[in-house]
Structure 1
Amino acid sequence: MPSFNPFSLPIVLLYLLTFLNLTTHAAAQNYLYNICRNTTIAQNSIYSSNIKSLLSSLSSNATGNIEFYNTTAGQTTSNPVYGLFLCRGDVNAEICRKCVVNATRELAKSCAREKIAVTWYDECTVRYSNESIFSTVAVRPRVHGWNVKNVTEPDRFNRLVNTTMTQLAREASNFPIGVKKFGVKEVQFSDYENTYNLVQCTPDLSSTDCNSCLQAAINRFLIHSSGKQGGRVMFPSCNVRYELYLFYNVPTAPAPAAGLAPPPPPPAPIARSKGKNKISTATIVAIAVSIALSVVLLLFILGYCFLIRRKKYNAVEGDQIDSTNDITIVESLQFDFATIETATNKFSVHNKLGEGGFGAVYKGILPNGQEIAVKRLSRNSGQGAEQFKNEVVLVAKLQHKNLTRLLGFCLEGEEKILIYEFASNKSLDYFLYDPRKQAELDWSIRYKIIGGIARGIQYLHEDSRLRIIHRDLKASNVLLDVDMNPKISDFGMARIFGVDQTQGNTSRIVGT
């Protein structure tokens, strides 16, 4: 922490204002996670149009003091889309509106071709489905997160969290249908530490359904967040969170009821005779300035600690740990070998796009006409079947506009195959090392490619729920789509081949 002169008010205020500006900006932008699943739909289908209409309706209705809203787009008998948004119970109307607008944009960008989707922000949740989701408990898909730091007395801390959250869940779920089902509570853990707890359900749930949803989420703390300084579980229908720092807005005290007698006036000040007992104006000013400086410095220290804790918070998608929850994902991602063999014309040499350190790549066309890139992995993969599936599921969840999207996999006998979206303009080396093609890369295109690669790598290193080190980044692993947008490929191959890449140690060579 920088050293401060306690009498240098401008410096202290500058740091304080900088911190307040950062936290205020983040309040409406704090994206956490999204999940899209089920069948991919055609871009111009009726259902796709209904999704756009639904997201627009959700965004336009996030006004006033509405924290929860649900609606349907399309005919109820053909291609309907059911959607809703839920804002955190302590945020104001403006933050709620901004969050819903951002969330609907995120879904329109990342999940618009999927039948089911949900996105979580710190301040709101937005979801849609092709089946009715109103007044129905949904605990999957789900996301878990925890603080990486441990507490000093984990057993006592776990009991305190469980007791507090269970009581809070009962209180919040006891409200009638249609009323906000939200609660926060501060409880002392030690002489200098308090736990801050939050629970919330969608208000269309019954008291029984809300309590069961919250209790299911609380029970997962014992699995994933035991003894941690913070934890959260996010279901589509409810969410719970606890921390050792204040992360929600403290409710304001209610106004006094009408008709109550006003408080008695303060006692009259004791008259003092003029003379040597009188405090000088200079002394009063000095005391006031000292107190003001102390308060500002204390606020900055608290803000600095808050930022440090935020950086150490490690949000990880919970389905990756509980393998039973990934059954649906695995089924939606798995292709049978016959389909892939037909798509690639039995891995014909005419369909071969190239070969790298992990295996050969072929172009394929699925029965629905979709073009794909098929990577037939070499036989020396260090993973067993179940571990291979688990790693593929994790990599498939990494989605960014500058990453090649993993569409699925095939696992049959000794065959291990990955299926990617197809990039029509091949790879960057195809342009860089061909004298005739180099002319097509003017400065504006090169600048766009450079920026896209940087954003993709930053996502893998810092912004994704997994920390991925590529280990084989080169021009042939940068694919270009029809608009010459770069898409990094092979970013999860080291992980799928059984190499630990959660650490920054790259001494072991992987790939080419």
Structure 2
Amino acid sequence: MITRSNQIWLTSLFVFDLLYLILTAESAATYIGSNCNNNTTYTPNSILSTNLNVLLNSLTTNASQQQDGYYLTIMGFGTTNAVNGMFLCRGDVNTTTCQNCVTDAVKQIKNRCPNQTEAIIWYEECLLRYTNKFFKFYSIEPRLNRKDGNNISGVDFDLFNETVFGLLNEVAIEAAHSVTAKKFATGEIEIRKIRKKVYGSGQCSTDLTSAQCETCLRNAIGTLRECCSGQQGASALLASCIVRYELYQFYTISRTPSSSSSSGKNGLGRKTIVIIIFVAFLPVLLLFLGCYCKRRRSRQRRRTMLKENFGDELKTLESLQFNLATIEAATNKFSPENEIGKGGFGVVYKGVLSDGQQIAVKKLSRFSGQGSIEFQNEILLIAKLQHRNLVTLLGFCLEEREKILIYEYVPNKSLDYFLFHPHKQKLLHWFERYKIIGGIARGILYLHEYSRLKVIHRDLKSSNILLDDNMNPKISDFGLARIVAIDQQQGSTNRIVGTYGYMSPEYAMHGQFSEKSDVFSFGVIILEIVSGKRNVRPIESHDFDDLLKTAWKQWRNKTPLELLDPILKESFSHSEVIKCIQLGLLCVAENPDDRPTMAQVVSYLSTLLVELPLPREPAFSLDMGMRINTTTESSSGQLTSKSTGSSINDISKSQFFPR
């Protein structure tokens, strides 16, 4: 006989089982497809095999711990058996669904891609990948295009495609510039003439910058135009981003209800009563006392912050400290009209001090990758460096949780703006380019040999070269620079920082840096200045050669002038162009010992007739645009134009890996 208590127990058990089945069904992973690199395999029980097993286990473990549904790590860093991996869960799924998807993906990727050195697997709820090389954020391979299989009916194809791709482009921009940690966005739009809606979503891996994310998503959208025009639903799944559209809502939108209650109103009333009583009894006395205490605390807090951040350098740097009120007055309270640059690091404003001096104010975002270490580093370094080809730091502000750097105002933005902006290229003549190359070289030589400190910049690139009103170059952004001993030839680190496309191979792969690391970056800049091209393959190009390989091919074929920017064909110095191309190739040699010192570079540039060594085939180039450093993203700031190529990011949560 079933008693009432047993009935209650059985009913509870049934409800529990039912809820469990519902939750399990909701969190079950739906496999879509995979891509295995069948070109290279690893030997079972090898070191690489061990590193991969540890990595996959780490991904599974961290799937339940990452609230943002993203995790990136590397095993065997700094060795030839290094392997990196990542999972990215869809932005709207919960932690349980994410964990189940990653767990299943780890099992399936080994079964579907046995002994492969590179593989990627896609699910409805997540993607997971690993490689012993690199995944390029702008590449459309590896990828998977999935389509509904049914063409749209009852509406013009062109109108449908216009609506779909217009929506996806808007979603791409919103995802790329998301203010949250997840680079995920959704959207919907109604198709004119028929009462149907299109729903779209886009998402990037968190390690990409806003510009890189937008590039990746736009490339993914481009593949849909080729494969899936007119389809009722389709998706493009790449290694670093995903876009999708359907005629039904396939994602979940979480809404947070606004909270208001009578208790809040009652609380407000009580506060009002307290304020009235307070004002009635102690009007003037407490006002003056409060102001005095506030100013005293503020002054003491600034000194304490300086002491905590800069230690023994307190006396040296105290004179460089600006108060926040002065900066707000100079920039009209950070007015958007004064904005001259923007990036993941924050915003740069033009300002005018009370004495009429123009300044550039770099206000770091609280979510910026340029954290306290880089902020302190830049202040301590630039305050002690003085050279006409280095940007001048006028001061800084540490107040009310703000981190602000104040520089001399450099009116002509950054070098990349003139090299790569289609309407500005023609303004940069050859004699100016040659002068800029010489100025950059002298600035780097000063850092390496003639300053009080021996400094390795570690992030030299065209967007970190500012141009004054006479087009003289000034090296900026010292947040990632390292001070080394005067007699020290080489250093090493497990925190790789820099920008793809400019990093020397020994630094990118093994964390070894020296003056020759900066020489490599300088060589890339030379070739960019000569060619007017970035050291990155254009998105629309089918040519897989980067700038270094192209330069080497032209040199080997004895046609180096083919590399020259077409805008300069009518007016240039034949001997200077040849010299610069040869010097650029010498600087990007794979072996650091084969690269010249900056003293030799300056000598070559300043000597009219000089015989340079023959260059060797350059190092394999990492594609530019993405900085590495887990703290986040940094930039030259004012310092730079609003173009792509800003950067930062290190090894911890977001990490750097080889491809």
TM-score range (shorter-chain normalised) is: 0.3 to 0.5
Relative to the length of structure 2, the TM-score reads 0.35
Larger fraction in strand = 1
